[in-house]
Structure 1
């Protein structure tokens, strides 16, 4: 190309590229903290902000005039958000059970087992909210190679109290919530690959270099998340997160020391060139001697902060001179705990039991949500509340119940409870289990059906934190799937015997031989 033409080309298109980069901001951060039981909690966060943008409204979401040219913002995700007019969306894929008593509250609330998707979408479009919800989950299923298409109407509810929106772009128009969960869907390598493709630097540089699938999926707990929200003063924000609970004591039982090389089997060689900020925040131990290498760029309120852009190659390590002593005490911040079980030995009836313990000196108001598939029906008239063996139905403040419709709609059970100080509240309710057709059973019918985790939110003026109870496994009446095989074998054997005998008599020649005297 002629040098003059090349200079003209750059003079025309360089301002557009600079403008595009100026309107998109990408930040990445890694938070690491050591837990009392010797494990290490890590949270990767990759945030992209489309400055000055607003979510598409239902009236213009199908317009073809919006150019949608992005430099850092993930194009595949932006097209989905625009096509289905999504104002706010949250998707999580987790594997394992989060231990609140020993690990405390997670950095990201969505730690329920399996897949969970909820979104706020505006009304008033040509297509209904349910139609756009169907298209959204199918599009995300293709984007992340997950079975999100199974989050159909049989699992969809609208619990607005538990999943409040952060900000709505147009408060004059009404918005609707759609929520669904699939506890049997776990995160794996095929979900991590499209996750990395949404990052500007992929896994070639920056903090994303540490996302080693061999180590991430070997952790005691791991989960990834996609969070899309609208910040009124900034724009549309997309945050990709990955959380893990690693166990450095597993290979070496006497030392809780860790480093990037030991936890992730990788180190950071270079920073992401398009990242505005790239930080590593390490929570420093309190009250015990330790050694951290290399020296952090800044220490603020018990946290060591490393600037990846200025540090170059980086391998952070934390060493304790003294030996490790396992602690069974609960963390001070977890003053509220939940235990949820499903009782009963029959395959048609049972009882749901929930124990809520409050260790504070004052009563606590709790919002409790159950979203059951239609195969489980709750008997609301059997709901009982007990504190220390004494019936306390006065602690029930509000209740919302939408009964299931077989083969059509899930159960929504939402109540507000008050738990007295220093006490344990026991909630019980009888349930009935559906009798399914033999064609409705999954391939592993003998294993049982996974029930979504319950969700709890404190209503005491603090920033709302969702607490997830472990998922349950219910045993339904299962037919003997080996009986058709037995019938086929018996029938085939009988037919073979009859056919063989008849065919033998029809084709055999009988000759009378004289018996010599």
Structure 2
């Protein structure tokens, strides 16, 4: 639990389960040996073994994560919509693409999500941005598949199968606080599943993140919160099969009070242990603060980089993709930049411009890799993929702009709500290697320092999604034609039916 300067509270739930001694299946092994499961969920374990998954990351998020006001999240997978990427062993009778199709369809059925829509039009392989983090050495070559669906939303039908992967479900332990009505009422919420192969076995980490606003639900406009007020629940029973259950509340010296008293308190956090503190309803209050006052601008960003990404242009055929990266530190920052756009938007690389303070700086971009949206044998266009390394000078704003052209689609290719437009996936900023003098490794991220004082970002960051407006036919015309045709058919049919079925007789009128 982490209180924020704007009165909100970030709640991050992490559930880790280790399947000891397990190793990813060799895809060349056609027989599936028996695998015994106790706490590790059988439904997910069968999918991992069936498709030879070494590493898997799935996230379902709703809302836009505000890095400047909320800082870096505990789980970096906060891109809007659905994101799925997996490292799979190569070889065997089935190709990587065939197993990728089976994987996303299996996960779609398991989590009740539209992951089957992550077809070849949204699939790419940016291995630099999403490296294999497995610590287990393997002679089997691996391949990456990555896809995102920004229009996918997360709701209760996704949380229910998610909780079924836990040994105690939501009946005991920290998961008792996962009340769907409160979690999905937050300003931002998301679910994620991470599977890693380590030297000890296969580790699964389930994560739920939510940004709650106690001020919005408080009658007195106070930022005081407790488990009962945030989730409408408290923890009344612990999960008996959990090795450890710990609650960590981030604290600072700003006049707050905690109840009940934590077991351990350090300079940054207060810790509660469910093994000895049951029932538990943690509350944080500010006794001297009568009404919470929102911080006024200018705000101090909580992250080294601030990102803005827009799509300019009023034309339905052309536009400009504009990205602004602001360095909030006193040293240069180097970051990787990844764009994966569907084939309905084409980037023109010869129009790329890099500017800092209205001065063109082509020396600040390097290692450019671009894959255009080529037509595949299955008849679908793969997404375009742009990867580059950017260096943002200290206390400066780097502006990147690229001209884009928008496709003219057939009327059968438009989505049901065509007038709304198409959602474009977020861009990704990721750590990269930079040739400086010294380096050290921390938290699976590379931080390089040298005489220049430059550094790289420590984890991935996601930009907001975009909405592109394409040339759209007037879909009301077919309905008008149908209505007119039905009216004419009714008149013609009625007249002919009367002529064929009526009996005509001569009626004599007598005075």
Q: Same fold (TM over 0.5)?
A: yes
Residue 452 of structure 2 corresponds to which residue in structure 1?
Answer: none
Residue 48 of structure 1 corresponds to which residue in structure 2?
Answer: 17
Cα distance in 2 for residues equivalent to 1:187 and 1:136: 19
* Superposition map of 1:187-206 within 5 A: 187-206=154-173
Moved more, 499-508 or 222-231: 499-508
Taking a change above 3 Å as real, the CA distance of residues 515 and 180 of structure 1, as seen in their structure-2 partners, is same
Q: 5+ unaligned residues in a row in structure 1: which ranges?
A: 1-31
Once the two structures are TM-superposed, the CA of residue 344 in structure 1 deviates from its matched residue by 1.1
Is 1:94 the equivalent of 2:88?
Answer: no
Taking a change above 3 Å as real, the CA distance of residues 505 and 74 of structure 1, as seen in their structure-2 partners, is closer
Once the two structures are TM-superposed, the CA of residue 515 in structure 1 deviates from its matched residue by 11
Moved more, 299-308 or 141-150: 299-308
Residue 380 of structure 1 corresponds to which residue in structure 2?
Answer: 349
Residue 464 of structure 1 corresponds to which residue in structure 2?
Answer: 458
Residue 86 of structure 2 corresponds to which residue in structure 1?
Answer: 119
Residue 63 of structure 1 corresponds to which residue in structure 2?
Answer: 31
Once the two structures are TM-superposed, the CA of residue 106 in structure 1 deviates from its matched residue by 0.2
Is 1:155 the equivalent of 2:138?
Answer: no
Is 1:289 the equivalent of 2:262?
Answer: no
Residue 138 of structure 1 corresponds to which residue in structure 2?
Answer: 105
Residue 14 of structure 1 corresponds to which residue in structure 2?
Answer: none
> What is the CA deviation profile of residues 204-253 of structure 1, one whole-angstrom value per residue up to 9, with x for unaligned ones?
11001011001000000000100000122x22100000000000000225
Residue 7 of structure 1 corresponds to which residue in structure 2?
Answer: none
Taking a change above 3 Å as real, the CA distance of residues 305 and 483 of structure 1, as seen in their structure-2 partners, is same
Q: Secondary structure at the match of 1:309?
A: coil
Kindly indicate whether the alpha-carbon contact (under 8 Å) linking 1:87 and 1:168 is maintained by their aligned counterparts in 2: no
Is 1:485 the equivalent of 2:457?
Answer: no
Kindly indicate whether the alpha-carbon contact (under 8 Å) linking 1:103 and 1:331 is maintained by their aligned counterparts in 2: no
Aligned residues: 481
Residue 437 of structure 1 corresponds to which residue in structure 2?
Answer: 410
Cα distance in 1 for residues equivalent to 2:13 and 2:34: 31
Kindly indicate whether the alpha-carbon contact (under 8 Å) linking 2:418 and 2:472 is maintained by their aligned counterparts in 1: yes
Q: 5+ unaligned residues in a row in structure 2: which ranges?
A: 435-445, 448-456
Kindly indicate whether the alpha-carbon contact (under 8 Å) linking 1:87 and 1:169 is maintained by their aligned counterparts in 2: no
* Superposition map of 1:87-486 within 5 A: 87-167=54-134, 169-232=136-199, 234-252=200-218, 254-286=221-253, 288-323=254-289, 324-327=292-295, 328=297, 330-331=299-300, 333-405=302-374, 407-459=380-432, 461-462=446-447, 464-486=458-480
Once the two structures are TM-superposed, the CA of residue 513 in structure 1 deviates from its matched residue by 7.1
Q: Secondary structure at the match of 1:408?
A: coil
Taking a change above 3 Å as real, the CA distance of residues 88 and 57 of structure 1, as seen in their structure-2 partners, is same
Cα distance in 2 for residues equivalent to 1:455 and 1:35: 24
Q: Secondary structure at the match of 2:56?
A: strand
Cα distance in 2 for residues equivalent to 1:224 and 1:280: 19
Q: What is the Cα-based RMSD across aligned positions, in Å?
A: 1.9
Cα distance in 1 for residues equivalent to 2:110 and 2:489: 52
Cα distance in 2 for residues equivalent to 1:128 and 1:260: 48
Once the two structures are TM-superposed, the CA of residue 171 in structure 1 deviates from its matched residue by 3.8
> What is the CA deviation profile of residues 305-357 of structure 1, one whole-angstrom value per residue up to 9, with x for unaligned ones?
00001111000000111322212454564121110001111211111111111
> What is the CA deviation profile of residues 338-379 of structure 1, one whole-angstrom value per residue up to 9, with x for unaligned ones?
100011112111111111111222222121111111111111
Cα distance in 1 for residues equivalent to 2:237 and 2:494: 77
Once the two structures are TM-superposed, the CA of residue 419 in structure 1 deviates from its matched residue by 1.3
Once the two structures are TM-superposed, the CA of residue 493 in structure 1 deviates from its matched residue by 2.7
Question: Which has the larger share of helix?
Answer: 1
> What is the CA deviation profile of residues 427-461 of structure 1, one whole-angstrom value per residue up to 9, with x for unaligned ones?
11111111111111111111111110110124363
Kindly indicate whether the alpha-carbon contact (under 8 Å) linking 1:34 and 1:285 is maintained by their aligned counterparts in 2: no
Once the two structures are TM-superposed, the CA of residue 255 in structure 1 deviates from its matched residue by 0.9
Residue 17 of structure 1 corresponds to which residue in structure 2?
Answer: none
Q: Secondary structure at the match of 2:322?
A: strand
TM-score by length of structure 1 reads 0.89
Residue 73 of structure 1 corresponds to which residue in structure 2?
Answer: 40
